[in-house]
Amino acid sequence: MKKITMLFLAVLSCGAFAQAQVDRGSMLIKNGTVFTITKGTLENTDVLVRDGKITQVGKNIPAPTGIKIIDASGLFVMPGIIDAHSHIALSSINEGTNAITPEVWTGDVVNPLSISIYRALAGGVTTVHAMHGSANSIGGQCETLKLRYGTVDADVLRMEDAPRTIKFALGENPTGHGRRDGQQPQSRMGVEFVIRQAFSEAKEYMATWETYNKAKLQKGFRGSPPSYNLRLETLADILKGNIIVHCHSYRADEINMLLNVCRDFGIRRIVFQHVNEGFKVAPELAAYGAMASVFSDWWSYKLEVYYSTAYNATILTRNGVTTSINSDDAELMRHLYHEAAKTQKYGGLKDDEALSLITINPARQLGIENRVGSIEAGKEADIAIFKNHPLSIYTIPVLTIVDGIVRFDREKDVDDMRLYIDPKESIDIPTFQEADHTHENCMLGAEETAQNIFDLN
């Protein structure tokens, strides 16, 4: 009996550590214009989804019995949009008290109840990189989220097994914090110094532990272990190549600086965020294999972002840099397809190139390109369906699908999609009074004039 109980307990405890229960669905999306991104655009094409994965892309796929069918005739089917720089669905963003805080992790403070998740879905977004802020030179680790809105369980939102990432920041943000606190860094030189110092300490930490761990294997070893330090552990993980660096940056000189730091410490995986002056150092970025995640056309919001151009994404792309367009903003995230379309005006990128900026390229930057970012058999069924071409100003997202589950349906979009309500919140609704328009005469006679001008009579 005791054994059985033990066994039962063992089973229970294994269950406790199993991954969160994620809903996955099946469907046949019929007869749409499919932007595969990686394999061209296919007209009148079906996409078959089984248990959350794309199993087949082709014409006239016979519908398995009982499968949900989505008629995409006249609609445009593309991979779910991926935002490589966002701060949504987090309870806190900046642990800005110290210049170096790699031990903190936004994954600890994921907020599945945030309505911003649903709003992002309404813009065709299916995956976001929920990042630490840019207050400090080495900020916290970030979390890649799949927008499985509707769950209360933060674990369900995590993109399981996505690579670890971390936020770095250069320039005015970390130096501003340093000056406020009377701490390092207070200059761009200081930023380089604190990063180099942190990595040097981490190298020492690794060496000390390595020595201890080797010595411990010796027979009859007696000695004290080095002290544990989660901050240095995390930095060591970066040095070991286990964490992708995402660095907030603007100016070309400091981008070059960080490339040099990475070179010196053997860090290969680096994505520059914002990177407004990336166009100046595009060949250098490409040569290092560094990637770039940019705004379409945001600039001049602080001194270091005056030297900017809307051609940035195009120039980087043409130089062979894996480039994405990000939002860094809950509102902008809802129309990243417009942001991508701007590269067609500023630089004339082709449709696939423009759409890559918000799909497969951000997937590459997050190390999840084998799972999402294009419509191919074997990939996860994260799909956005649009009315009108997604790069057209008239486009409208109508359906957003994550793991084969419809998470946004424009036809079933009720007013209040909040998951939790605070019973103590005060309800404050502005009231609009029916105005009396009779005294407004600015358009007086306009109709008549228009009829005369256009000869409508």
Partner 1 sequence: MKSILSRRRTLLLLWAFTFPILLVAQDEKMMAPVSRTYVITNVNIIQSPGRKIDIGTVVIKNGLILAVGKKISIPSDAIVIKADSMYLYAGFIDGLSHAGIVKSKEEMNRDRPKDPGNPPPDKAGITPQNSVLEFLNPVDKSLEDLRSVGFTAAHVVPYGGMLPGRGSVILLGGSSANEMLLQPSLTFYSELTPAERVYPATVMGVMAKYRDLYRQASLTKSYETVYASNRAGLERPATDRILESFYPVIDKRMPVFFRAERVLDIQRVISLQKDLGFTLMLGDLKEGWDVINQIKTTNAKVFLSLDLPEEKKEEKKEDKTEKKEEKPKSISDLEKEALEKRKVEFTAKYTAQAGAFQKAGLKFGFSTISAKPKDIPANLRRMIAAGLSEDVALASLTTLPAEVFGLTDRLGTVDNGKIANLVISDKPYFHEKATIRYVFVDGHLFKMEVKEIKKVDPNAKPEIAGNWTLTTETPQGKSDSNLTIKKEGSGYSGKISGGRLPEPSDLQRVELTGNSLKFVYAVSMGGQAMTVTVEATVEGDTLKGTASVGQFGSFPLEGKRDPKF
Using CB under 8 A as the binding rule, whether residue 333 contacts partner 1 is answered as no
CA distance 295 to 107: 24
Q: Which of 101, 273, 359, 374 binds partner 1 (CB under 8 A)?
A: 101
Q: Which stretch binds partner 1 (CB under 8 A): 12-20, 33-41, 310-318, 336-344?
A: 12-20
Task: Tell me which residues in 242-301 interact with partner 1 (CB under 8 A).
Answer: none
Binding mask 181-220 for partner 1 (x = CB under 8 A): xxx-------------------------------------
Using CB under 8 A as the binding rule, whether residue 97 contacts partner 1 is answered as yes
Using CB under 8 A as the binding rule, whether residue 98 contacts partner 1 is answered as yes
Q: Which stretch binds partner 1 (CB under 8 A): 119-127, 227-235, 281-289, 290-298?
A: 227-235
Q: Which of 161, 219, 432, 438 binds partner 1 (CB under 8 A)?
A: 432
Task: Tell me which residues in 103-132 interact with partner 1 (CB under 8 A).
Answer: 103-106, 108-109, 111-113
Q: Which of 5, 60, 227, 457 binds partner 1 (CB under 8 A)?
A: 227
Three-class DSSP labels, the chain: CHHHHHHHHHHHHHHHHCCCCCCCCCEEEEEEEEECCCCCEEEEEEEEEECCEEEEEECCCCCCCCCCEEECCCEEEEECEEEEEECCCECCCCCCCCCECCCCEHHHHECCCCHHHHHHHCCCEEEEEECCCCCCCEEEEEEEEECCECECCHHHHECCCCCEEEEEECCHHHHHHHHHHCCCCCCHHHHHHHHHHHHHHHHHHHHHHHHHHHHHHCCCCCCCCCCCCHHHHHHHHHHCCCEEEEEEECCHHHHHHHHHHHHHHCCCCEEEEECCCHHHCHHHHHHHCCEEEECCCCCCCCHHHCCCCCCHHHHHHHCCCCEEECCCCCCHHHHHHHHHHHHHHCCCCCHHHHHHCCCHHHHHHCCCCCCCCCCCCCCECCEEEEECCCCCCCCEEEEEEECCEEEEEHHHCCCCCCCCCCCCCCCCCCCCCCCCHHHCCCCCCHHHHHHHHCCCC
Min separation Cβ 26 and partner 1, Å = 26
When the beta carbons of 91 and 260 are compared against partner 1, the nearer one is 91
Q: Which of 4, 152, 217, 453 binds partner 1 (CB under 8 A)?
A: 152
CA distance 207 to 200: 11
When the beta carbons of 92 and 309 are compared against partner 1, the nearer one is 92
When the beta carbons of 93 and 285 are compared against partner 1, the nearer one is 93
Number of residues lying near partner 1 (CB under 8 A): 54
Q: Which of 3, 5, 17, 443 binds partner 1 (CB under 8 A)?
A: 17
Using CB under 8 A as the binding rule, whether residue 92 contacts partner 1 is answered as yes
Using CB under 8 A as the binding rule, whether residue 222 contacts partner 1 is answered as yes
Min separation Cβ 135 and partner 1, Å = 10
Binding mask 401-430 for partner 1 (x = CB under 8 A): --------------xx-x-xxxxxx-x-xx
Q: Which of 32, 52, 80, 96 binds partner 1 (CB under 8 A)?
A: 96
Min separation Cβ 205 and partner 1, Å = 13
Min separation Cβ 398 and partner 1, Å = 24
Using CB under 8 A as the binding rule, whether residue 154 contacts partner 1 is answered as yes
Output the CA–CA distances (angstroms, integers) from residue 348 to 150, 267, 326, 353, in the order listed. 39, 34, 19, 10
| Tokens representing residue 141 in the block | 């680790």
Q: Which stretch binds partner 1 (CB under 8 A): 167-175, 223-231, 246-254, 388-396?
A: 223-231
When the beta carbons of 106 and 395 are compared against partner 1, the nearer one is 106
Using CB under 8 A as the binding rule, whether residue 15 contacts partner 1 is answered as yes
CA distance 231 to 133: 17
CA distance 355 to 336: 10
Where on the chain is the footprint of partner 1 (CB under 8 A)? 12, 15-17, 91-99, 101, 103-106, 108-109, 111-113, 140, 152-155, 181-183, 222-225, 227-231, 415-416, 418, 420-425, 427, 429-432
